[in-house]
Amino acid sequence: MNIRFLGHSAFLLHSGEHRVLLDPFLSHNPKSPVTLREALEWKLSAVLISHAHGDHWGDALEFGKAGVPIVGTAEIGGYAQKHGAANAVGMNIGGTYSAEWGSVYLTPAWHSSSFPDGTYGGMPTGLVIEMGGKRVYFAGDTCLFSDMRLIGDRGLDAAILPVGDHYTMGPEEAGRCLDLLRPKVAIPMHYGTFPALTGDPQVFAAAGRALGVDVRVLEPGDTTEL
């Protein structure tokens, strides 16, 4: 699997002929290395949404209107369908959605969730994605919580965690998560996009490396391989 960082919390996962986009905040993302127009030309198998805040929901409807399945909570799926995404999939925490490209399992996340227009977006979630023989935990926006140990029990090839502080946990707390999750690789996200997101990814990297985790700090546009 290749993981490409698109700035903030947006990632593109690529394995074989399949591409899956996570939290597609592109148009108004000052760190995005690609435009929405470019991304709409990708042959995406799915767009996965952790929660409904604008910096994660982003351009999801544009992909949904183009026929790409939008996968998230029941509230996210229902909202997407109501606004023109015919192939939207609504599910909930503890459920698994499987398709030709792989699968996604929704975990809890400690945060909030509402669409830019104020509509309730359901519970925020993390995503455990299985694709190309790899298992990746995308935490969404969250703080540290002890049940991350149960997520780690699944055996994780990678964990993608927010480190920016203010709206999520900071780098020290994210580093503590790695002791529970026990991934082979860790990637920081959700930092530096806006002034409030002051968390230093290098602090997270140092904490992870002390635990023997391969921490990869990516610049927007960078790709890493699992």
pLDDT band at 77 (very low <50, low <70, confident <90, very high): very high
Distance CA 127, CA 16 (A): 21
User: In the chain, what percentage of residues exceed pLDDT 90?
Assistant: 100
What's residue 112's pLDDT?
98
What's residue 159's pLDDT?
98
pLDDT band at 39 (very low <50, low <70, confident <90, very high): very high
pLDDT band at 107 (very low <50, low <70, confident <90, very high): very high
Query: What CATH number does residue 153 fall under?
Result: 3.60.15.10
Reported in sequence order, the residue ranges of the chain that DSSP labels E, i.e. its strands, are: 2-5, 11-15, 18-22, 46-48, 70-73, 89-91, 96-99, 102-108, 125-131, 134-138, 158-162, 185-189, 214-215, 223-225
Q: Quote the number of domains for the chain.
A: 1
For residues 52-58, give the mean pLDDT.
98
Over residues 147-157, the pLDDT tens digits come to: 999 999 999 99
Give the torsion through C-alpha atoms of 117, 123, 128, 132, to 10 deg.
Answer: -40
User: In the chain, what percentage of residues exceed pLDDT 70?
Assistant: 100
Distance CA 202, CA 4 (A): 19
| pTM attached to this predicted model | 0.98
192 neighbors 31 (Cβ within 8 angstroms): yes
What's residue 195's pLDDT?
97
Chain-wide mean pLDDT for the chain? Answer: 98
Maximum distance among all Cα pairs of the chain, rounded to whole angstroms: 47
What's residue 117's pLDDT?
97
Q: Where in the sequence is the domain holding 158, given as residue range(s)?
A: 2-225
What Rg value do the Cα atoms of the chain yield, rounded? 16
What's residue 170's pLDDT?
98
What's residue 209's pLDDT?
96
30 neighbors 43 (Cβ within 8 angstroms): no
170 neighbors 163 (Cβ within 8 angstroms): yes
Backbone angles phi, psi at 45, to 5 degrees: -85, -30
CA angle 102, 108, 112 (to 5 degrees): 115
